[in-house]
């Protein structure tokens, strides 16, 4: 029998859950606190494992059609010298970059009109014997058989289920921006990440001749001085890095920069509680060092739908979902954390040794690690 499912959060995790759950015949309603679809944001990279998870819904082909492909990341030193290549095994296809708002539009286009209600900020969630009731800030209410909590890293639902603080500051902070790519010296079609002792810098081409960039430096958490950095301050930090990094920063307007400290969440001990199941960043926010945050949210959505499809008892379906996702999430979360600590080193000696080891590491090791990441399994 079809169940009514309330999805709290209309980001990537929530919209993907709506697509996958509607596909198996569930009645779905998404409640998003933003007043309208996202119009701002930075770039995003969708990896082959996420494309595999979205394949049955016609979404993967649209991401491929609209996105910029890459066979992996070129890893460079601050002087532009090659360190390594984080390659996607050819049999898995490519990474695809696009603007986050364009991905949201693709996902929304896969849903029937009216699936998402905007401007709905949850204030209370109550689980009853036979249903779940959600109350929103405007006084409206909704009832459903089940709830999917997809309300992001600061999830109010997770905090209700697990009151203890599970945030972990990574030790570094991040700025992101998008600029036109016309006339940038040294710009290439490759996805590039540069590791230097003053910080890390990424360059990702986007459709429409735009460029998505991100910069990371070590800093105290919630440092008010660092939070006020402008593009000029960032240019001063990265001015000695290879082209086109200095010019990218010079052509970025201050209001086009997004700044956030990098934190993750220790994965929940259990991704569900009675009639509520938690997915995406709400359950297990991951540091961005492997580009897998959104991809793992997409895997969550597909796996959850499959579990509910084959198991009519929702409690058993949620337990199956937890069992299928647990090991993979913990592995990727821990690996991403370790990469971040290694990449953010400010030690000149350690950096030289690290770069040399990575240059001469057997390619078979990299291929094996890539296959474990880029293969989606239900």
Per-residue pLDDT reduced to its tens digit, 72-82: 999 999 999 99
The reported pLDDT for the residue numbered 38 is 74
Confidence of residue 367 (pLDDT cuts 50, 70, 90): confident
The percentage of residues in the chain with a pLDDT greater than 70, rounded to a whole number, is: 99
Write phi, then psi, for 295 (nearest 5 degrees).
-65, -40
Mean pLDDT for the chain overall: 94
Averaged pLDDT, 240-269:
94
Nearest CA among 184, 178, 192 for reference residue 71: 192
pTM score of the predicted model? 0.96
Residue 136 pLDDT > 70: yes
Asked whether the beta carbons of 275 and 127 are under 8 A apart, the reply is yes
What is d(CA 231, CA 225) in angstroms, rounded to the nearest whole number? 14
Nearest CA among 156, 248, 195, 237 for reference residue 73: 195
Q: Radius of gyration (Cα) for the chain, nearest Å?
A: 21
Read off the pLDDT of residues 173-226 as tens digits, 9 standing for 90 and up.
999 999 999 888 888 889 999 999 999 999 999 999 999 999 999 999 999 999
* Domains within the chain, CATH numbers bracketed: 4-166+264-374 (3.50.50.60)
Read off the pLDDT of residues 286-315 as tens digits, 9 standing for 90 and up.
999 999 999 999 999 999 999 999 998 999
* Count of positions (residues) in the chain: 378
The reported pLDDT for the residue numbered 186 is 81
Centre a 10 Å sphere on the Cβ of residue 88 and count the other Cβ atoms it contains: 22
Read off the pLDDT of residues 146-167 as tens digits, 9 standing for 90 and up.
999 999 999 999 999 988 878 9
Confidence of residue 39 (pLDDT cuts 50, 70, 90): low
- Between CA 173 and CA 46, with CA 103 as vertex, the angle to 5 degrees is 65
What is d(CA 313, CA 294) in angstroms, rounded to the nearest whole number? 28
What is d(CA 96, CA 66) in angstroms, rounded to the nearest whole number? 9
- On the 0-12 / 13-18 / 19+ scale of CB atoms within 10 A, 7 is buried
Centre a 10 Å sphere on the Cβ of residue 263 and count the other Cβ atoms it contains: 16
Asked whether the beta carbons of 278 and 285 are under 8 A apart, the reply is no
Q: Indicate the pairing of strand 72-77 with strand 191-196.
A: parallel
CB crowding 125-156: b at 16 or more within 10 Å, else e: bebeeeebebebeeeeebebbbbbbbbbbebb
10: tokens are: 């209309």
Confidence of residue 1 (pLDDT cuts 50, 70, 90): low
The reported pLDDT for the residue numbered 368 is 83
């Amino acid at each position: 029998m079809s169940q009514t499912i309330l999805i709290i959060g209309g980001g990537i995790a929530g919209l993907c859950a709506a697509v996958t759950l509607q596909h198996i015949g569930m009645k779905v309603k998404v409640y998003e606190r933003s007043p309208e679809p996202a119009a701002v944001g930075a770039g995003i990279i969708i990896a082959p494992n996420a494309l595999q998870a979205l394949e049955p819904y016609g979404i993967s082909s649209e991401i491929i059609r609209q996105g910029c492909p890459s066979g992996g990341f070129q890893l460079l030193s601050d002087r532009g010298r090659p360190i390594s290549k984080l390659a996607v095994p050819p049999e898995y296809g490519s990474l695809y970059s696009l603007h986050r708002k364009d991905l949201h539009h693709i996902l929304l286009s896969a849903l029937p009109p009216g699936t998402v209600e905007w401007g709905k900020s949850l204030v209370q969630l109550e689980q009853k014997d036979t249903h779940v009731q959600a109350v929103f800030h405007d006084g409206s209410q909704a009832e459903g058989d089940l709830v999917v909590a997809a309300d992001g890293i600061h999830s109010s639902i997770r905090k209700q289920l697990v009151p203890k603080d599970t945030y972990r500051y990574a030790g570094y902070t991040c700025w992101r921006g998008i600029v036109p790519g016309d006339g940038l010296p040294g710009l290439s079609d490759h996805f590039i990440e540069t590791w230097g002792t003053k910080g890390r810098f990424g360059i990702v081409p986007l459709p429409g001749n735009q460029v998505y960039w991100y910069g990371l430096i070590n800093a105290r958490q919630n440092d008010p001085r660092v939070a006020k950095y402008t593009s000029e301050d960032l240019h001063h930090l990265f001015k000695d890095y290879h082209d086109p990094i200095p010019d990218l920063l010079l052509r970025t307007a201050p209001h086009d920069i997004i700044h956030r400290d990098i934190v993750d969440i220790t994965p929940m001990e259990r991704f569900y509680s009675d009639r509520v199941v938690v997915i995406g960043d709400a359950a297990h926010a991951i540091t961005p060092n492997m580009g897998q945050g959104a991809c793992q949210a997409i895997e969550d959505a597909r796996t959850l739908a499959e579990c509910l499809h084959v198991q009519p008892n929702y409690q058993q379906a949620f337990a199956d979902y937890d069992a299928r996702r647990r090991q993979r999430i913990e592995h990727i979360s821990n690996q991403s954390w370790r990469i971040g600590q290694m990449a953010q080193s400010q030690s000149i000696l350690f950096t030289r040794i690290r770069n040399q080891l990575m240059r001469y590491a057997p390619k078979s090791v990299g291929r094996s690690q890539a296959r474990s990441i880029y293969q989606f399994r239900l």
